[in-house]
Amino acid sequence: MTSLLLIHSLYSLIAARDDSANDNIALSVLASRDTKREALGTSLFVILIIINICIFVPVIFVVTYTLHEVFPTLAIVESADVAPEYEFVNADEAHDEDDDSDHLDSGNDIKRPSAVPDIPSDGQEPSSSQLPDETAGIPARPSSPVTCDIRATFRLLRAACGGSYRSGLARGFKWKLCIGFTQFMIIVVLISIPYIPTFVISIIASLATTQLATGWVHAVVSKQQNSLLWQNLPRYWLVLKATAIPIIAKAAITQLIRGFVHLFLGPRTGSADPIGLVPAYSGGFWLHILVLGLIFVIYIVAFLPIEVILTRTRASSKISPPFMLGPFRALLPNETNTLVPLDVSIQSHDPDGMGFWSWQYSWEKLSRASWIRIAKVYGKVFAITVAVHTFTFLFIGLQMLIVSLLGGSFVGGSFQMKESA
């Protein structure tokens, strides 16, 4: 009996030891599986982030900078009245064609119109064969401003930078970086001073960098090198006199838009998207639509005209040399080689005798055709922006759908794979 109890006790001890060992092995296997699954999920998450960065960073740059900054600037300063292009034809070839047509039309009373306008082809008046080669041409298709076509503007930027899309799409971006850094430093200094409203700080920063902003406009419009642009920057005070009123008006319109948002929707309550780009407010859907419509009207009626006037003033300001010695010289001289033909009204002109081109004159001399073209360019840019944002949200949503179908999820900002049954 005693031996049976001893054997049973030893068996129970051995069995208990074996169970604990098996449990430890099972726990270690599960832990290793969790570690591998977490490592796999993290690797997939990192790869997904890299793919999205490679796709969307260039797209966002082109939309936010090239389309919203460079394209409108070129459209604002381009001439609306472009002379028609001509295809030059050799005078002897034109004369031979006229002779052949005369033989073909012999016996008929039908007369061909002359190849050159205002010159009949019946031989009684000077024909194209009697004109110099450089004037013997026929009009090609009617030419239009290049900024009317988005693709043509892209090709223009590419050709202006030696066939490089990267340099063309980033035209003048160094100036923008300089402006942004300078404004950031000014805001950091002023924000530490109490009792200064935010919009006042914004106005001060914009006025302080107006000279650099004028240089950016010239870097986009002209083909001058950056070193020459830096050397030809005019005195700050004269640029400030030419651009102060539009800058203050632009800041006031921006503050008015923010005031409408806070008045109708209240303070921001969060973000409407997981990335945090779209702000969320407490108002209802139709109230959001009403506020967006009101902001759109203010932008079209007030903000856009001020932006146009400011850009044209910067592109055509007439600045004097230091200490007012010597004749006045244009900030952007007439002989400067530009990407697009400048508007005729944007010439070295000082109608008010103030030493610069006033914003009032900029407003008065902007033609109706220019306004229509600028509005079309802004409309196309807006449509492309909406399309890009829609594609971005759909692409990210598709990625999340694929992740969920594969049995994964985003938890705590990291990607985790679920254990299959």
Q: What is the per-residue pLDDT across 28-80, written as a single tens digit (0 to 9) for each?
A: 544 555 566 666 667 777 888 888 889 889 999 999 999 999 999 999 988 87
- pTM exceeds 0.75, yes or no: no
Q: Which two tokens stand for residue 190?
A: 């002023």
DSSP code per residue over 159-179: HHTTT-HHHHHTTTHHHHHHH
Model confidence over 232-280: pLDDT tens digits?
777 788 888 888 999 999 999 998 888 888 777 777 776 666 555 667 7
Provide the 3-class DSSP secondary structure of residue 125: coil
Model confidence over 90-111: pLDDT tens digits?
444 444 544 544 443 444 444 4
pLDDT at position 97, please? Answer: 46
CB distance 331 to 229 below 8 Å: no
- Beta-bridged to residue 414, according to DSSP, are 411
Amino acid at 119: I
Of 226, 214, 229, 237, give the one whose Cα is nearest residue 310. 214
Q: Which two tokens stand for residue 156?
A: 């223009």
Say whether pLDDT at 290 is over 50: yes
Using the structure block, give the residue that is written with the tokens 């449509």: 383
Q: Report how far residue 73's alpha carbon sits from residue 82's, in angstroms, rounded to the nearest whole number.
A: 18
pLDDT at position 145, please? Answer: 82
pLDDT at position 201, please? Answer: 93
Using the structure block, give the residue that is written with the tokens 């108002």: 283
Q: Which one of 169-178, 275-284, 350-359 scores highest in mean pLDDT? A: 169-178
Amino acid at 154: F
Degrees (nearest 5) of the Cα angle 289, 267, 189? 120
Q: In Å, what is the CA distance from 302 to each residue of 26, 251, 253?
A: 71, 11, 7
Q: Which residues have C-beta within 8 Å of that of residue 3, sequence separation ≥ 6?
A: none
Using the structure block, give the residue that is written with the tokens 């759109």: 296
CB distance 309 to 362 below 8 Å: yes
- Between residues 400 and 62, the one the model is more confident about: 62
pLDDT at position 127, please? Answer: 36
Q: Which residues have C-beta within 8 Å of that of residue 66, sequence separation ≥ 6?
A: 157, 169, 170, 171
Question: Phi and psi for 168 in degrees, rounded to 5?
Answer: -70, -45
Q: Which two tokens stand for residue 21?
A: 């060992």
Amino acid at 24: N
